[in-house]
Structure 1
Amino acid sequence: MSIPLILAVLTAPILAMAANHTSTTTPSLVTFIFGDSLTEVGNNNHLRYSLARSDFPFYGIDYTNRKPTGRFTNGRTIIDIISEKLGIPSPPPYLSLHHNDDAVLKGVNYASGGAGILNDTGTYFIQRMSFDDQIGYFENTTKVITVKIGQTSAKTLLHRAIYFIAMGTYSIVRGSNDYMHNFLQPSLPDGRRYTHEQFLEILSLKLVEQLTRLYLLGARIVIFHALGPLGCVPSERAKSTTNQCLRQVNEWVVRFNYKVQKLIKALNFKLKKAQFIFADTYQDGLNLIENPSKYGFKVSNRSCCAIETAVGGLCLSYAHVCANRSEYVFWDAFHPSDAANVVLVDRFFSKLFDTSNSSTKSSSNHIGYML
């Protein structure tokens, strides 16, 4: 999909809903967020037995009140920053809301650390909300919205909302958990049972089913974020004797992105009025890692939080944390720093909006608008 068309898709619902600013039941823009730890804002805090949690120091050290919230970074997630740019609050975690909460009318975040497209991805985290689980919770949300504002208004809200999906994923890390916590784990069966092409076909078929399900529930404007250069994540570099990016993994990522781009194009043709968008940010992530100084960073081959990737890669409370966090691209072995998230979101928006408008910019010392 061309950049001008993406711009039209994003601005149309903003303008349309802003025209109804006298309404007390709907905000100017509604967003629904699906994904993994890159976009989670605290759902897993409510899963008692989940091992995919970040509600402990030093996570959140640069966030509001310097406290951990369940975000897998030192500060804001990409969704927090996108929400700032859109001029709306970052949607709350679904599991923090009570059943009939009015907050659902303003958007909800269903993302869950450890989640994947496939239901068996991340099983060793014990509890996490898979993409299927998240869609199921979204279905519950649509029913609540319908009860609150009626079927016609609910249909309009759902059609005009923007759906961000970062299962495989918007930023420079993880790719999808389906790779990190499934296919690339030799202890799990999928990596031994299938070739990459077979695994890719399984992922693609499942994703088509899930995107179609979202469409049938009312989603029309869906932004699916591409996988980044997963082979360059600190946890993957650690597998190299020279701490280099893993070429084979990055080649698999490029193949996945190409496959998803094609299936999204097919869905736009098949589903009436669907405006599904594939946001390909792979090269942006790779440029940031290979040329960190261009964007104001000094370190991109290791994480700010000095951790042992062999024991999980999260920034545990006894780990050593660098003082110059804004100079590191990676926060822990998997996730980007707040500063890196700002740069990547800015580059995404620079392709959509006139970046000379200062009101769309996040405060940052990094060069986030260079193309």
Structure 2
Amino acid sequence: MKEACIIFIFPGRELGVPMKILIILVVVLTMSTKKAKGATRAFFVFGDSLVDSGNNNYLPTTARADSPPYGIDYPSHRPTGRFSNGFNLPDLISQHIGSEPTLPYLSPQLTGQKLLVGANFASAGIGILNDTGVQFVGILRMFQQFGLFEQYQGRLREEVGAEEAKRIVNGALVLMTLGGNDFVNNYFLTPVSARSLQFTIPQFSRYLITQYRNILMRLYELGARRVLVTGTGPMGCVPSQLATRSRNGECVAELQQAAQIFNPLLVQMTREINSQVGSDVFVAVNAFQMNMNFITAPQRFGFVTSKIACCGQGRFNGVGLCTSLSNLCPNRDVYAFWDPFHPSQRALGFIVRDIFSGTSDIMTPMNLSTIMAIDSNMY
């Protein structure tokens, strides 16, 4: 990505009005080139199924969303590997920042100039801890996602040179979504788990934060300078937990308690890292409150329910997986949850709205609109 430069030379002539117009045009063209260069900000995505855009399609794992009715509302109306009826969280953020959607890193289409858009390294089923999601077998744990990120940077250097590659990585927006699986698919996976014998819920939350800190510091070492870090959502209110743990559809207290302990610790940890590195690199996203807004008052957001998944079976459509044999609602836009675990595309739209314009209680220390304004001329 070389910056265009147009030079006009007028030897031995005094600048008349037409020539002044030409020189003004040169300046405008150069400024426009710089603006266009800055407008295509790269976007990198790390984490779990909430942000996986299809990496697990290429892996030997059971954690997959590659069969109908997943993708029913995607433009192609076909499954893409996204755990959504249509677009997922990274897609909607990309749309808001005016970027192409990031391709899964394992996609063979991610070559050449596509590398400049960024990449999605997320893998459904993973957690902060390496022992989270072992039941899903061949998933990309965080150290593997970072290994691929290093590989990506090598490919990017070959494409645009070392200096430009560094600028792209440092100037990128990054999304990191972890934590939910460490509770749902580890600590609370069975009535008595190895981790629940080892830790109380507060102890486990603090342990997760120490490990998450290591992950974020490694991401900083790899060049990330603006990272959205989402906390866990209201894990006790998703249809899968209502189906298996609640008596009358009430949110499960233990899981809600875990989220309410973990999330403030996450905010505190990101503040401490920012203080340590001397910049607001990490931005804590209060996904718990963002989700609770439409879970507690679904009708206000145009949903008929926040308890029943659109696709599933059993109580609250929350038992098992979403498959072609599942119950399927005719209108996904009036359901807050698409499947037993994941919000619908429309619900994600409200979350992205809050990411962009939310107040300091849900976006700490600033929302994405502020970030984009601050960073517009930085890189």
State TM-score, norm by structure 2: 0.81
One-letter code aligned to 1:261: V
8 Å CA contact retained: 2:157, 2:165: yes
1:21 Cα deviation (Å)?
4.9
Give the 5 Å matches for 1:99-118. 101-118=112-129
Match of 2:187 in 1: 183
Indicate the residue corresponding to 2:375 in structure 1.
none
Q: Paired residue for 2:100, among 67, 89, 111?
A: 89
- In structure 2, the residue matched to 1:9 is none
Report the AA paired with residue 201 of structure 1: R
Call closer, same or farther: CA 1:96–1:27 in 2, change over 3 Å: farther
Q: How does 1:1-371 map to 2 (within 5 A)?
A: 20-21=34-35, 28-47=40-59, 49-97=60-108, 101-168=112-179, 176-186=180-190, 188-238=193-243, 239-273=245-279, 275-308=281-314, 313-351=320-358, 352=367
Q: How much identity, in percent, do the aligned residues show?
A: 36
Query: What's the CA shift for 1:323?
Result: 0.7
Answer yes or no: is the 8 Å Cα contact 1:111–1:134 preserved in 2.
yes
Letter in 2 for 1:207: Y
Q: Deviations over 1:77-101 (max 9, x none)?
A: 0111111111111100001137864
The residue aligned with 1:3 is none
Determine helix, strand or coil for the equivalent of 1:53: coil
Instruction: Tell me the matched-pair count.
Output: 329
Query: Structure 1 stretch 63-72 or stretch 275-284: which is displaced more?
Result: 275-284
**Separation (CA, whole Å) in 1 of partners of 2:109 and 2:61:** 20
- Unmatched 5+ stretches in structure 1: 1-16, 169-175, 356-371
Q: Helix, strand or coil for the counterpart of 1:20?
A: helix
Provide closer, same or farther for how the CA distance between residues 284 and 151 of structure 1 changes in structure 2, counting only shifts above 3 A. same
Give the number of the structure whose alpha-carbon radius of gyration is greater.
2
User: 5+ unaligned residues in a row in structure 2: which ranges?
Assistant: 1-30, 359-366, 371-379
Q: What amino acid is aligned across from residue 32 of structure 1 in structure 2?
A: F
Would the alpha carbon gap of residues 18 and 218 (structure 1) be closer, same or farther in structure 2, given more than 3 Å must change?
A: farther
Which is further off, 244-253 or 141-150?
A: 141-150
Deviation at 1:302, TM superposition (A): 1.2
Per the alignment, do residues 98 and 81 of structure 1 end up closer, same or farther by CA in structure 2, a change over 3 Å counting?
Answer: closer
TM-score (norm: length of structure 1): 0.83
Could you tell me which amino acid in structure 2 is paired with residue 304 of structure 1?
C
Q: CA offset at residue 248 of structure 1?
A: 2.2
Separation of aligned partners in 2, 1:53 and 1:162: 26
Root-mean-square deviation over aligned CA pairs: 2.3
Q: Distance in 2 between matches of 1:212 and 1:77?
A: 26
Displacement of 1:197: 2.5
- The 8 Å contact of residues 235 and 256 in structure 2, kept in 1 or not, is answered as yes
1:4 alignment counterpart: none
